[in-house]
Structure formats: structure tokens, C-alpha cells
């Protein structure tokens, strides 16, 4: 493949799944209008969702899902050893995701309740970066294919890319979306990192914070404001803990 008339080496990429729904991986295989160009820019050597091929010879590893078992720890350490660049893909990989909610319970008791006399191995859920060194994190549930493509361009050709520093609220204004607080809904938009184009507020759901905290998120002012609007600590904590990205900012 040529870029600006210069032959470029197609980096070998591998995509791996840990604990999660694998929806972020499906995002990579969607968006047909750019899929051919995307695949032309890279060489996919390991990606169970789209190919039966398997190789340990790769440059960039995308890891989707959280870590919740000992065998996943071992597998992740091997991936880290092989990868020149390791990317945490999606909210589960970046923060622990929805699965991290189980950490609030007694795991032995929950195991017995669900599996009875056939308990399954389980550990407290961790993000990928809590187990191995991560070079880049792409948050979202699921990730934005547009954003992933821009980041791949950055990794391959050094095309400048920066995650937005502003919160989701700005993207709501750009879309002319009526603020969900005006209709009485809780929303984490004021403290969540933008980059998703705010689909949840536009759909009338409010932001659930899947992309984690915005740069210099003013959590103190946010909590003051939502309390003034009548939301309780339990309601706020439930929303902020849903994807695991606000663990240190919970009320």
C-alpha cells in the first residue's frame, strides 16, 4: 500500500477478547463503506470474529473485555509480551465495564447462588491496565469505529490525533440536543469525555459515562448541581459506577 506515493508496511494486528460481550470487536467488522480500506491498511493475523487464522506474530494487539479469571491474566501477559503496541479496546478493557459491578458482592456467595455445587472460577474484575502495561486506551460501549480508524491512522502513519478534552455536553450542543436535565433525567454528560457524538442524550437516555471522565472533570460541581436537581446519592452512584470509569469520583 502507498501513502503519499511512498510504500508503507502494513502493520500486523491482532484482536483478542476477554470477559465481555465482544460488541467492540463487532464494531471493527461493521461500517462496510470503510471496511475494505481499513483492511487494506493493516494485515489482520488474529481476529476470531472475522477469521479462523491465528498467529502470535503481530505488531498491534487490540484487547477487548475485562479481566475476570486467572487464565485471562496468563493470556494477557502473553499478548503483552508479543505486542509492540497494546490497545485496550472499549469500556470493559479500559475500566472493567459493566462486569465490574460484581466487585461489590461476595464473589464466593454469588458463585454458589448461580452455579450451586458446580462453582466456576472467578476473580474480582480488573481493567487491562491493572494487569499489564497499556499503550493506548479507546473507551466506549461500544467503541466508535470512526475513532478507531483515526487512531489506527495515527499508529500507522503518525496522522495527528487527540482525544477530545471537552465533555459530552459540547457534542449535545453541536447536535442541538435538548439537555436531558430539562426533562428531569440524570446525565453524566458534564463530566464524561466526548468523542462519541452524544447518541444517548440524543436518544433521550442521558449519558451513562461509558467513555470515562473528561479531562479535568469537575466532579465536585457536578455532584452539587445534580443534588440541587433532586437526585440522590444512590441514583448518582448507580449511574457513575455502571461502566467503572468513575470509581474514584463516586459520591
**What pLDDT sits at residue 37?**
86
Residue 250 lies in a domain: no
| 145 and 204 fall within a common domain | no
What rounded mean pLDDT belongs to the chain?
Answer: 92
Q: Is the pLDDT of residue 111 over 50?
A: yes
Residue 107 lies in a domain: yes
Q: Is the pLDDT of residue 9 over 50?
A: yes
Residues whose CB is less than 8 angstroms from the CB of residue 203 and which lie 6 or more positions away in sequence, other chains included = none
| 8 and 69 fall within a common domain | yes
Q: Domain range spanning residue 220?
A: 168-244
Last residue of a domain, one of 138, 157, 176: 157
| CB half-sphere exposure, 92, CA atoms < 13 A | 23
| 148 and 60 fall within a common domain | yes
Residue 249 lies in a domain: no
pLDDT tens-place string over residues 82-104: 999 999 999 999 999 999 999 99
Residue 238 lies in a domain: yes
The number of distinct structural domains making up the chain is 2
Residue 251 lies in a domain: no
Q: Is the pLDDT of residue 7 over 60?
A: no
| 140 and 47 fall within a common domain | yes
| 16 and 126 fall within a common domain | yes
| 175 and 127 fall within a common domain | no
**What pLDDT sits at residue 5?**
52
Among 88, 31, 92, 96, which residue's Cα sits nearest to residue 62? 88
Give the distance from CA 25 to its chain's centroid. Answer: 11
CATH number of domain containing 62: 3.40.50.700
pLDDT tens-place string over residues 153-199: 888 888 888 889 999 999 999 999 999 999 999 999 999 999 999 99
C-alpha cell at 39: 483492511
**What pLDDT sits at residue 167?**
97
| 117 and 218 fall within a common domain | no
Q: pLDDT confidence of 1, banded at 50, 70, 90?
A: very low
What's the average model confidence in pLDDT over 120-149? Answer: 95
Residue 137 lies in a domain: yes
C-alpha cell at 173: 450542543
Distance in angstroms (rounded) separating the CA atoms of residues 199 and 192: 13
| 61 and 128 fall within a common domain | yes
| 87 and 150 fall within a common domain | yes
Q: Is the pLDDT of residue 127 over 70?
A: yes
Angle of helix 233-240 relative to helix 219-228, nearest 10 degrees, comes to: 130
Last residue of a domain, one of 94, 124, 157: 157
Tally Cβ neighbours within 10 Å of residue 199: 14
What's the average model confidence in pLDDT over 211-219? Answer: 94
| 29 and 126 fall within a common domain | yes
| 136 and 178 fall within a common domain | no
Distance in angstroms (rounded) separating the CA atoms of residues 165 and 193: 7
Residue 162 lies in a domain: no
pLDDT tens-place string over residues 37-85: 888 889 999 999 888 889 999 999 999 999 999 999 999 999 999 999 9
Residue 229 lies in a domain: yes
**What pLDDT sits at residue 159?**
87
| 19 and 109 fall within a common domain | yes
**What pLDDT sits at residue 3?**
46
Amino acid at each position: 500500500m502507498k501513502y503519499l506515493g511512498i510504500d508503507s508496511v502494513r502493520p500486523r494486528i491482532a484482536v483478542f477478547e476477554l470477559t465481555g460481550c465482544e460488541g467492540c470487536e463487532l464494531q471493527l467488522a461493521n461500517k462496510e463503506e470503510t471496511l475494505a480500506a481499513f483492511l487494506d491498511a493493516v494485515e489482520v493475523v488474529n481476529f476470531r470474529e472475522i477469521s479462523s487464522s491465528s498467529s502470535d506474530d503481530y505488531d498491534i494487539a487490540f484487547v477487548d473485555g475485562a479481566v475476570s479469571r486467572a487464565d485471562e491474566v496468563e493470556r494477557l501477559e502473553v499478548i503483552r509480551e508479543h505486542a509492540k503496541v497494546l490497545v485496550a479496546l472499549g469500556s470493559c478493557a479500559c475500566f472493567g465495564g459493566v462486569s465490574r459491578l460484581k466487585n461489590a458482592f461476595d464473589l464466593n456467595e454469588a458463585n454458589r447462588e448461580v452455579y450451586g455445587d458446580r462453582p466456576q472460577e472467578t476473580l474480582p474484575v480488573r481493567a487491562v491496565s491493572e494487569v499489564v502495561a497499556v499503550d493506548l486506551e479507546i473507551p466506549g460501549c461500544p467503541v466508535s469505529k470512526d475513532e478507531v480508524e483515526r487512531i489506527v491512522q495515527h499508529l500507522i502513519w503518525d496522522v495527528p490525533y487527540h482525544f477530545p478534552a471537552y465533555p459530552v455536553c459540547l457534542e449535545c450542543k453541536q447536535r442541538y440536543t435538548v439537555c436531558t436535565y430539562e426533562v428531569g433525567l440524570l446525565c453524566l454528560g458534564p463530566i464524561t469525555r466526548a468523542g462519541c457524538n452524544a447518541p444517548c442524550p440524543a436518544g433521550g437516555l442521558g449519558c451513562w459515562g461509558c467513555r470515562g471522565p473528561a479531562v479535568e472533570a469537575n466532579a465536585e460541581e457536578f455532584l452539587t448541581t445534580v443534588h440541587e436537581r433532586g437526585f440522590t446519592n444512590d441514583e448518582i452512584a448507580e449511574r457513575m459506577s455502571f461502566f467503572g470509569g468513575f470509581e474514584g469520583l463516586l459520591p
